[in-house]
Structure 1
Amino acid sequence: MTTIGVTGVTGPFGRLAVERLLARGGSERVVGLARDPSRVSGLDGLDVRPGDYDQPSALVDALNGVDVLLLVSGNEFGKRVAQHTNVIEAAKAAGVTRVLYTSAPRADDTALPVAPEHKATEEVLRASGLAWTILRNNWYVENYTPQLDRYLAEGAIVTAAGTGRVGAAPRADFAAGAVAAALGDGHEGRVYELGGPPFTFDELAAVITDVTGTTVTHRTVSPAELVDALQGNGLDAGTAGFVASLDEAIARGDLDVPSDDLANLLGRPVTPLADAIREALK
């Protein structure tokens, strides 16, 4: 019996992945790692183990018996390379045979602000001696859907992204693709650029308008203007500047990554943007 491990199962991506694994009803045993296992609930059949990325020795015990590991990237910027390295080294020590890692678009050839830690992790994984699969996830549609009420109330999406395009897809599609790569054959040593058909924010606004019947437009501002607006909405200067830098990356084309890799892993088209908007509005 193959044992599939998933890290970060209290986060939305990890939870979606284990939900999909458990729902399959296959013969695989599913292990979920969580920094705080007491926070894991409603996942009958999941073997929950403590999995703190900052506790290397405990990670070895947590990964005991795991054959294939889905390493969901952490969210502590500045610490992720060390944390991911801890997991990869623990996987080696525990006898894991393959690690899948959720990375960033074009991680080895982009100026995207979040990319350096992903690139460094990819390098650690490639040098580990383990079989590996790299899943370069584009943006989640859920980066935008929590703001639908504001878009509708204000009648506008305000960005510094210009006409830049984003290859976003629903998080559930990315998780399903990761599960398919974890369970399927022929994915060792592969780098997948995962995402949906790229869209502009003008197109996002048009889809929201069509779905809701409320007119929403896209208004482009300068990065400095966006920072001021975000601070006016309560963000601190550092966070506002980071968000603006991501929009600048979109304007450069850093997230415009046309690829059929996700659809191929899913065995179906990526969920249409309009359907994702409808689901978010429920």
Structure 2
Amino acid sequence: MSIALTGATGALGSLVVDALLTRGTPASDIVVVVRDADRAKALADLGVGVRVASYGDVPALVTALDGVDRLLLISGPESGERVALHGSVVTAAQQAGVGFIAYTSAPHADDTVLLVAPDHAATENLIRASGLAYSILRNNWYHENYGAHLKNAEATGKLFSSAGSGRVASASRADYAEAAAIVLAGGDHDGRVYELSGDVAWIFADLATVMGEVLGRPVELVQLDRESHIAALTGAGLDPHLIRFVTTLDADIAQGALAEATTDLSGLIGRPTTPLIEGLRPLR
């Protein structure tokens, strides 16, 4: 059985390949579809098949997916173009005769205020309409997404937030990657929508405490309203687009967009999800 994934040289994709190999999938059964073959040289050296195609290039994608049985479509980063690019992959999968597609989506993508959800919901609809067998992997937040916050806390002793009492049910990127590898390897996953999350939904006071344990000194949580948060991040020299993303995300968190802790992820991987502190320690 041939298993392929897009975005394989990214942070999540590389961990999915690792998980497939660790769980016993032969390297010769794995295909990575990448834009730059040089970045996948280490994978090629392991015996993984490397095929070059960009998300928007349907003919190249059809060639890259030739003979592939099961495909993981890892969401692309191109906001504003994401749905069209994902649609190219879905179309190519149909034309290439791929039997199954899994997609990394967002929590409750079809019914949430989350900033990134509309692109994910639209992609899910494209997959459902394609006629392909599928699973939707709705990944909650990653512990690693708070790496920049940890660095800032190390420099200032403070964690800034405008999320109020909102909760985040995050897990480690490796947890989500392992779940994706399990679904790709086969089994009873067709038509399933998995709401994947960490076992614990924490508040930002918890995050500040954990950061303090990682850093070995207290971290003060500074709760701000959105405008004050924007001003603080602007004063710290952050990029305006990043500021908008961070503050909009905090507003979404305050409304509960990332709060649901389910058992879908721990159930798939057969163990508890990685604790927040263990996710943050390597980021220091």
The alignment's TM-score, normalised by the length of structure 1, stands at 0.95
Asked if residue 218 in structure 1 is aligned to residue 217 in structure 2, the reply is no
Would the aligned equivalents of 1:141 and 1:170 in 2 still touch at CA under 8 Å? yes
1:21: how far off?
A: 1.4
Residue identity opposite 1:143 in structure 2: N
Name the SS for the 1:40 alignment partner: helix
Name the SS for the 2:41 alignment partner: coil
The one of 48, 58, 63 equivalent to 2:65 is 63
Alignment-derived partner of residue 38 in structure 1: 38
1:234: how far off?
A: 2.3
- For structure 1, list consecutive stretches of 5 or more residues without a partner in the other structure: none
Deviates more, 1:246-255 or 1:146-155: 146-155
Asked if residue 11 in structure 1 is aligned to residue 24 in structure 2, the reply is no
Would the aligned equivalents of 1:22 and 1:46 in 2 still touch at CA under 8 Å? no
Alignment-derived partner of residue 271 in structure 1: 274
Would the aligned equivalents of 1:177 and 1:262 in 2 still touch at CA under 8 Å? yes
- State how far apart, in whole Å, the 1-side matches of 2:123 and 2:101 are: 12
| Residues 63-212 of structure 1: pairs in structure 2 closer than 5 A | 63-196=65-198, 197-212=200-215
Name the SS for the 1:41 alignment partner: helix
1:275: how far off?
A: 1.7
Would the aligned equivalents of 1:10 and 1:40 in 2 still touch at CA under 8 Å? yes
Would the aligned equivalents of 1:7 and 1:51 in 2 still touch at CA under 8 Å? no
- State how far apart, in whole Å, the 2-side matches of 1:226 and 1:103 are: 28
The alignment's TM-score, normalised by the length of structure 2, stands at 0.95
Asked if residue 251 in structure 1 is aligned to residue 254 in structure 2, the reply is yes
1:145: how far off?
A: 2.4
Moved over 6 A (4+): none
1:35: how far off?
A: 1.2
Alignment-derived partner of residue 55 in structure 2: 53
1:230: how far off?
A: 1.8
- State how far apart, in whole Å, the 2-side matches of 1:21 and 1:160 are: 38
Name the SS for the 1:164 alignment partner: coil
1:279: how far off?
A: 3.1
Would the aligned equivalents of 2:149 and 2:159 in 1 still touch at CA under 8 Å? no
Would the aligned equivalents of 1:22 and 1:45 in 2 still touch at CA under 8 Å? no
- State how far apart, in whole Å, the 1-side matches of 2:48 and 2:228 are: 47
Q: Percent identity?
A: 47
1:208: how far off?
A: 2.1
- State how far apart, in whole Å, the 1-side matches of 2:215 and 2:249 are: 27
